[in-house]
Amino acid sequence: MRRWLPASALLLLFLGAWAWLASLPSVDDLTLASPAEVWGAFGDDRDLLLDNARVTLVEVLLGLAISIVAGVSFAVAMHLSRTLRDATYPLLVASQAVPIVVLAPIFVLAFDYGMGPKLAIVALICFFPITVNVLDGLRSVEQDHLKLMRSFGASRVRTLRSVEVPAALPSFFSGLRVAATVSVIGAVFGEWAGADEGLGRLVLLGNNQLQTPRVYAGVVLLTLMAVALFTLVTLLERLTCPWNRTERTA
């Protein structure tokens, strides 16, 4: 319980600063909505906000799922084949540098309007931290462990299963934590390329229609989503990697 105290205090401080800033005469309320106005928007637009949040959440979760499958597969494949790693690593890095603005229309061309492009964009943004971290985790296994497994006569698969994959789990969760945090903004970018629903779309239209409190309410929801996902990943890690925790407290 006590661990929540510093974060709560900081949050209250932040809210106070926000409210103060919004009250300044030089800051007009089209640019910055006050916490009270945002709270009002939650009341007035509740259904609108929640319905759109649900849509974006689905995009985020599905996109993350795809990125996990892709990310882990890439990492294992690159770990097993040096040639593949040398060939694909530069391309994977390059994929992160291409602006979404350029990619979005291409995805629309490939997947048509609908969920497709959004999932593609979320997956594109999220797979990379997972791939890099899992690969690093797999490669971080000590030579001595691999030697030992060889002395047992273990097959490649057995070594992967019993040593390399469990060793890489903490790294996987590191990558997943990053991915979960950026997945939300990925969904927003995807929606900006053309969407009929979703918080990203709501925020964009709200901005154009000068509905500032709604825009900020949408932003708050997106933030909460990211924080919730991050926390979920951390919980998952605690459940699946208990040995990590014990090591630290021992």
Q: Which of 201, 218, 233, 237 binds another protein (CB under 8 A)?
A: 201
**133: amino acid identity, one letter:** N
204 binds another protein per the rule CB under 8 A: yes
52-91: contacts with another protein (CB under 8 A): none
CB under 8 Å to 2, separation ≥6 — which residues? none
Cα–Cα distance measured from residue 196 to residue 206, given in angstroms and rounded to the nearest whole number: 14
Q: How far is the CB of 242 from another protein (least distance, A)?
A: 8
195 binds another protein per the rule CB under 8 A: yes
Q: How far is the CB of 59 from another protein (least distance, A)?
A: 14
The contact mask relative to another protein for 120-149 (x = CB under 8 A, - = no) is: ----------------------x-xx-xxx
247 binds another protein per the rule CB under 8 A: yes
196 binds another protein per the rule CB under 8 A: yes
How many residues form the binding site for another protein (CB under 8 A)?
45
48 binds another protein per the rule CB under 8 A: no
Q: Which of 88, 95, 181, 207 binds another protein (CB under 8 A)?
A: 207
**113: amino acid identity, one letter:** Y
The contact mask relative to another protein for 144-183 (x = CB under 8 A, - = no) is: xx-xxxxxxxxx--x---xx--x--x--------------
Site residues, another protein (CB under 8 A): 28, 30-31, 104-105, 108-109, 112-113, 142, 144-145, 147-155, 158, 162-163, 166, 169, 192-196, 201, 204-205, 207-210, 241-244, 246-247, 250
